[in-house]
Chain A
Amino acid sequence: MSNISKVLFCSLIAVGIAGCDHAPERSKYGIPSGGTQVQLPSTAGDSSVQDGALKSSAGLVGATPLRRLTNNDYTNSVTDLVGDISSLNIQLLKESSSLIYPFTNHATEQYVPTALANQYFVAAEMIAAATFKDKTRSNKILTCTPLKGTEETCAAIVLKALATKAFRRLATAEQVSGLLEIWRAGFKAVDFNTGVEWALAAVLQAPEFLYRIEMGTAPAAPGVVALDSWDMANRLSYLIWNSAPDQMLMDAAKNDKLKTVADVSAQVDRMLVMPGAHDMVIHFHDQWLGLETIDTVQKDPKSFPNFNKTIALAMRDEVRNFVEDAVWNGDSKLQTLLSGQYTYLNKTLGDYYGIKGLGATFTKMSENKLGGRPASGILTMAGMLAVRSNANDTSPTRRGAFVRSALFCQTMPNPPDNAIFTSPVSKPNMTRRDLIEAHATNAACAACHNLMDPIGLAFENIDAAGVYRDKESGKTIDASAELFATDVDGKFSGPSELANKMSVSKKVADCVATHWFQFAYGRDPIASDAPVVKELGTRLTTTGIISAIKYLTQTPQFFYRTVAEGAK
């Protein structure tokens, strides 16, 4: 039984049954969960998500590119298959993402250069070898005991089960016979287990493992087919858990019980209360907020002697704890994520911020206990702002660019060809605001910088290393700022007023909806996806983030796929 199904088993049966005590509260990030207090929305009575309504919109489904497992999906899927692999230190090429597409799952960007093919090869050999060095692991794969003379019959049973689990749908005869050929080579050269080990190394590099190949069933509209239940099991598990289907999903697929809104909805409700769903929400926010590389952020040790990697990682955990709470335990609304007047701190971060009396574990802290430090949801998170600063000074430009791209989905143009990239010379008593005003006074710079700098200046009370300050160069910080070219234009001061504006902005709701669309479907929305993005935005700001995630599994885009010309 996989970790995930084990947890499920335990959550269905009363806590305290032998074997359930060790079920992990959280499987991956180590952020304690308060459980799921958010009311899961019911689909009953929602006419927009009935089977007939979905089918009649099937023709609107945009291109459906073949998706490869992200590095995160890969690690999770391998872990589900053979157990924890963190000690193997598997290296895979860093994936591309951008400010306006902050996720690593953009299907049409997922190329496999030689270096990555090589890494997949090395990883597969290492994983297979490690699996067969450990009897408790290999026994899970060796589902029958070979007897002299009938080894091949047994191998076929083992490989069919292995391929079905790894390929996440019933293995075909062709797949099994190909794997048997590998097994035969290893069996002849060494022994039975060696044959299976070699086959496992091949399974882990097969397209059926590395890609999410969808078969589809009957045509639903010209060039559009409904997905089969195996396809749906995979879509559900990779969306909600960023990992492979568990046994219950596989069983549902085998019984062809994943083709109606009602069947899918029941699975989603089951899946959302499991640790993998919490991990997925954290993974979304890590990428959206650009926190995945926070451990590589360096600050000028002269200006910020207390900043180090431990602090950086604690800052990431601050965001993760806050997100966990805001998404799962409160009203789950986007507004709370943007403006919640609290955060989570532990002793490490408290000491760093100058807030006393904290213990080793992260605790919820309301804004009035933070010694003047503002708390406005993700917007005031030290980690978020430290990532978007220079080594020795804040960067209102990068902070503003983040707000534009991550929250308004606006693309910032490149600097013009004649831009000068040397910083203006700082004189004593100058503030960051004084320095950056050079942009505003130069017409060539101002055109674009006016879109970023005046927003970024709202965050000046948090310095480049994430610490609260009320003065800079002896002057009181001026956090006055202004928004242009949005649906909530106007002057404001500080992050909380920015949050208030964004909380009523349709553009912000649409933008965060767009990011969830990207994260869920591995592509950018196109014109025909607009109704889905709009509904997602509405849900994010009314029934909440979990409700929006559930809606992602109830769209024509989720039940149908286009078949490209020439494809079979």
Chain B
Amino acid sequence: MKKTPLSRRTLLRGAGGVAIALPMLEAMESSADAATGGQKKFISFFSGCGVTGETFFPTGTEKSFTLPESVTALTKYKDKIIFFDGITNASGNDPEYGGHQGSHVGMISGSPFVFSADVADPDHYEKMRPTGTSLDQKIAQKLRSSSNKFASLQFGVMNRPSGNNFDIAASFTGEKGLLLPEPDPAAIFKMIFQDGAASAGDVATAELARQKRKSILDFIKSRYTALNARLGADDKARIDQHLTSIREIEQQLLASTSSNCMIPSRPTSGITPEKDLDGYAKLQFSLLAAALACDLTNVASLTWFGTRGGDFNYKNVIKDVAITGGHHGLSHNQADTPQITAINNYIAQNIAILMASLDTYKTSAGGSLLDSTLILWWNELGFSNATHQSSPAPFVLAGGNGGALKMGRFLNYNSQKQSNNNLLLSVYNAVTDSSDVTFGDPRYCTGVLPGFA
């Protein structure tokens, strides 16, 4: 991929010849180091359908531990990772539905799923909806800065939103707020790097579009505010939300782009996960890293694969173990443990690639974007084959928290089990510099993980 640090002029035009919002000069000066300096970033990396616990959880002590077969691909970054064991999926562990579906939203939000009454589809799984807010969205509410064009971004790899959307949702705000991953690199590129004034690429046009949008947005905001003053509570709630949404798009439309980013070249169409999973994933990672580096957002989630539908077959990319079926199918079969192990090590290898991608954005202080970006890798099935249950919950932290969290550890809570809510709370506090005392459904939360911070 071609990457060039941007001059002001190139930045205005974007790599694909598209205009980016103004004003730029102030942005270039004030946020010179915003992306790679102190600003913390967070990535929620969800890969569904299970790990094999026996080959996933390390052995050893906090400082001296061995990486088992499912995660050997992360050896290179061992000192930038925290492994866990003994975390229960307390709020996601549904006794009836076992590992799949539902448990993933409980796992990342700390609040169980419900069956929505509003969904007409007779498929039982299609009715499942989260009740809480996912960790990334909680963090996004706190971490968004005025220079961000997006509060958060959702990336996908092997999951086109069709059919059952619930099982690919890694980001959500309550029952009606599924934020679906966008798996198409071209669509992501268009959304994050291509300003609406795409037809003309010069500074004057971009500035004109900004003026126009500002005057329109000022007017409609004042109209909604005026309307709000005369409404009863129920109507007001809906108009309030509409107004919030307008403010949200205002940030997107009027925000400027950080100077310290490198915009990747426009993805070529036609690449698919089926044909070239390696290349496809790399493309999404590079767009994700650029979105963080360009300060377009501070928070992203990535759904590698959902919990049920699709059933991706890895036979084209995993050669040392014979892959005989899709990941979801394999996760139900005790005899397929070696295949699940190989699949997870392949995913671990991709996490290493994402980390390398972040590491290419160097700061003037000698560090990189990787040091200020914390990645939470999670999966709803801890023992895919033996019990098909989600505890212990496979959580892995990678990257860095701007120096504020000691990495390179193995935190084993098997002697004093800790809930996923406790882990979510600990990560939330660490990334947002908060000192909250509970997270998600408080029934499942007793406080931060001992010895974490």
Contacts and interface: CB of A to CB of B under 8 A. Distances in A.
Interface of A: 63, 65-66, 68, 96-99, 108-114, 116-118, 121-122, 124-125, 174-175, 178-179, 181-182, 185-186, 189-190, 198, 201-202, 205-208, 211, 213, 397-398, 401, 414-415, 417-419, 421, 563-568
Given A63-B234, A565-B232, 13 more contacts: A66-B238, A98-B119, A113-B177, A117-B248, A117-B249, A118-B245, A178-B222, A202-B216, A206-B219, A206-B220, A398-B122, A401-B122, A567-B231
Nearest to A98: B120
B215 interface: yes
B249 A121 contact: yes
Contacts of A205: 216, 220, 246
B417 interface: no
A186 B209 CA distance: 10
Nearest to A117: B245
Given A65-B234, A110-B238, A421-B124, A206 B223 contact: yes
A417 B219 contact: no
Nearest to B177: A113
B115 A414 contact: yes
B231 A198 contact: no
Q: Which of A99, A111, A190 has the most CB of B within 10 A?
A: A111
Contacts of A198: 212, 215-216
Contact of A111 (B120, B227, B238): B238
Contacts of A122: 196
A90 B196 CA distance: 15
A397 B238 CA distance: 36
B367 to A, nearest CB: 33
B216 A182 contact: yes
A440 B96 CA distance: 23
A108 B118 CA distance: 13
B219 A182 contact: yes
B242 interface: yes
Nearest to A102: B120
A419 B232 contact: no
Given A112-B245, A198-B216, A567 B124 contact: no
A97 B119 CA distance: 8
Nearest to B229: A568
A110 B125 CA distance: 24
B362 interface: no
A2 B229 CA distance: 34
B29 interface: no
A163 to B, nearest CB: 11
Contact of A114 (B125, B215, B218, B248): B248
Given A111-B241, A189-B208, A397-B122, A118 B249 contact: yes
B9 interface: no
A255 to B, nearest CB: 26
Contacts of B208: 189-190
Given A111-B176, A201-B216, A205-B220, A189 B238 contact: no
Contacts of B216: 121, 124, 182, 198, 201-202, 205
Given A205-B220, A208-B223, A563 B241 contact: no
A114 B223 contact: no
24 contacts: A65-B235, A66-B231, A66-B239, A98-B117, A98-B119, A99-B120, A111-B238, A112-B242, A114-B245, A114-B249, A117-B245, A118-B245, A182-B219, A186-B215, A189-B208, A201-B212, A205-B246, A207-B220, A211-B227, A401-B122, A414-B117, A419-B124, A564-B231, A567-B235
Contacts of A109: 118
B122 A108 contact: no
Contact of B233 (A124, A185, A208, A564): A564
Contacts of B118: 96, 98, 109
B249 A564 contact: no
A178 B248 contact: no
B3 interface: no
A414 to B, nearest CB: 5
B238 A108 contact: yes
Contacts of A186: 212, 215
B215 A116 contact: no
A134 to B, nearest CB: 17
A22 to B, nearest CB: 34
Interface residues of B, number: 45
Interface in B242-262: 242, 245-246, 248-249, 252-253
Contacts of A63: 234
B211 interface: yes
Contacts of B220: 202, 205-207
Contacts of B2: none
Interface in B334-355: none
Contact of A108 (B215, B224, B234): B234
A118 B55 CA distance: 46
A364 to B, nearest CB: 32
Contacts of B319: none
Kindly list the 7 A-B residue pairs having the minimum CB-CB distance in the complex, ordered from nearest: A564-B232, A117-B245, A567-B232, A568-B230, A112-B242, A66-B235, A185-B215
Contacts of A99: 120
B282 interface: no
Contacts of B246: 117, 205
B96 A418 contact: yes
A175 B230 CA distance: 16
Nearest to B245: A117
A116 B245 contact: yes
A397 B229 CA distance: 48
Given A112-B241, A118-B249, A207-B223, A567 B120 contact: no
Contacts of A421: 123-125
Nearest to A398: B122
A179 B196 CA distance: 22
B190 interface: no
Contacts of A398: 122
A417 B219 CA distance: 50
Interface string B119-138: 11011110100000000000
A568 B227 CA distance: 10
A112 B120 CA distance: 21
B358 to A, nearest CB: 26
Nearest to A190: B208
Interface string B247-285: 011001100000000000000000000000000000000
Contacts of B222: 178
B230 A182 contact: no
Nearest to A563: B232
A108 B238 CA distance: 8
B219 A121 contact: no
Interface in B181-200: 196
Contact of A118 (B124, B227, B241, B252): B252
Contacts of A414: 115, 117, 124, 127
A464 to B, nearest CB: 15
B248 A185 contact: no
Contacts of B252: 118
A510 B123 CA distance: 29
A178 B223 contact: yes
Interface string B274-305: 00000000000000000000000000000000
Nearest to A188: B211
A189 B124 CA distance: 56
A189 B230 contact: no
Nearest to B118: A98
Given A112-B245, A567-B235, A207 B227 contact: yes
